[in-house]
Amino acid sequence: MKIDRDAPVGVFDSGVGGLTVAREIMRNLPSEKIVYFGDTARVPYGNKSKDTIIRYSRQIIRFLQEQQVKAIVIACNTASAFALDAVRDDLDIPVLGVIEPGAVVAARETRNKRVGVIGTIGTVGSGIHEDFLRQLDPEITVLGKACPLFVPLVEEGWLHDPVTFEVARRYLRELQEREIDTLILGCTHYPLLRSTIREVMGESVRLVNPAYETALELKRLLTEKDLLSTGKEEEEFPYRFYVSDLADKFKSFANSILPYDVEMTQKIDIEKY
C-alpha cells in the first residue's frame, strides 16, 4: 500500500488530555494535519480492563482509518500500555504510544539512576513505565507516585494557583526526599502543570514531558519512512477534532490550551465502529 504523505496524522486519547500531545505535534511539525479523537463518553480508561481498552482502541483506529490518516499516535497512557502491541499488528501505517518516548529520554538523562514517575492511580499502579525503564537500564530505580488531584485541577483551569502548588508540594515531597534526578510527567494532563511542578522540584531535577518526546519521535518516524507532509496541500481546517460525547465542553478546554482556535469539533457514535 502506498501511504499519502499529505494525509493527516491521527491522534487519540480517552478525553482531553491528549490535546497536550496534539499541541506538541502542532508546534514541532507545523506542516502536519491532525485528526484528533477524544473518547469523552468512555473516559476514564484507567479503571478499565486490558480487553476493554484494546476493543475501544480498535474502534477508534477504525474511525481514524476512515479519515485516511497516515500514522496514529496513541496519546493516552493507559491505551499505550494496554493496546499498542495489539493494534500495531493490525496496521500497515506507523503507530506509536506516549510511554516509550518518555522512558527512553528519562533513561538517557538520569545521572543517579533514580527516576520518578507521576501519573494517575491506574498508570502508576500498572508499573508500565517501570517495565520500560528497567528494560532500557536494569540499574534504574523507579519511584512512582499517583497524583489523583492533578487531572481535576487542570480541568478546573487552576494551572497557576496556590491550591495547585500546595497539592503538588505534598505529592512530590516523597519523590524529593528519595532524591530522584529525573521525573516523567506520566499523564497527558501534567505538562499543563509543568511550571508548578518545576517550582516545587527545583531546577536540578530534569522534567520529562512525554508529549514533547512523542512529537519528536513522530517526526523521526515520518522522516525515516519518507512520510513527512510536503506542506503543499493547504486546508481550511488542518486540525479536526472528534469526540464521543459533550463536544462543547471539549471545545472550550481545547481552546484554552491550544495555540489555535478550535472551530471544528464533532460528536460521533464510536460504538458503531
Residues belonging to the active site: 76, 187
Cell 476493543 sits at which residue?
55
Q: Which of 162, 90, 104 is nearest to 137 (CA)?
A: 104
Does 40 participate in binding its own copies (rule CB under 8 A)? yes
Q: Interaction with its own copies in 242-261: which residues (CB under 8 A)?
A: 245-246
Does 148 participate in binding its own copies (rule CB under 8 A)? yes
Please identify, among the stretches 82-90, 128-136, 154-162, 183-191, the one whose residues bind its own copies according to the rule CB under 8 A. 154-162
Query: Cell triple for residue 178?
Result: 528519595
Residue 49 CB, shortest distance to its own copies, in Å, is 8
Does 199 participate in binding its own copies (rule CB under 8 A)? no
Q: Which of 12, 3, 6, 84 is nearest to 273 (CA)?
A: 12
Partners of 266 in the β-ladder:
242
Residue 246 CB, shortest distance to its own copies, in Å, is 7
Please identify, among the stretches 19-27, 40-48, 104-112, 200-208, the one whose residues bind its own copies according to the rule CB under 8 A. 40-48
Please identify, among the stretches 35-43, 79-87, 180-188, 190-198, the one whose residues bind its own copies according to the rule CB under 8 A. 35-43
Residue 187 CB, shortest distance to its own copies, in Å, is 13
* Per rule CB under 8 A, count of chain residues that contact its own copies: 20
> Residue 216, Cα to own-chain centre: how many angstroms?
13
SS3 state of residue 9: strand
Of 43, 93, 98, 218, the one binding its own copies by CB under 8 A? 43
Please identify, among the stretches 5-13, 92-100, 131-139, 161-169, the one whose residues bind its own copies according to the rule CB under 8 A. 161-169
Q: Could you list the beta-strand ranges (E) of 7-63.
A: 9-13, 34-38
Does 138 participate in binding its own copies (rule CB under 8 A)? no
Angle of helix 19-28 relative to helix 210-224, nearest 10 degrees?
50
Of 104, 149, 216, 258, the one binding its own copies by CB under 8 A? 149
Q: Could you list the beta-strand ranges (E) of the chain.
A: 9-13, 34-38, 71-74, 95-97, 114-119, 141-146, 182-185, 206-208, 239-243, 265-267
Residue 63 CB, shortest distance to its own copies, in Å, is 19
What are phi and psi for residue 37, nearest 5 degrees? -120, 125
Does 157 participate in binding its own copies (rule CB under 8 A)? no
Q: Length of the chain in residues, anyone?
A: 273
Residue 66 CB, shortest distance to its own copies, in Å, is 23
Q: Is the dihedral of CA 62, 33, 193, 217 positive or negative?
A: positive
Q: How far apart are CA 12 and CA 34, in angstroms?
A: 10
Of 31, 135, 152, 220, the one binding its own copies by CB under 8 A? 152
Residue 224 CB, shortest distance to its own copies, in Å, is 39
Interface residue list for its own copies (CB under 8 A): 40-41, 43, 47-49, 148-149, 151-153, 155-156, 162-163, 166-167, 170, 245-246
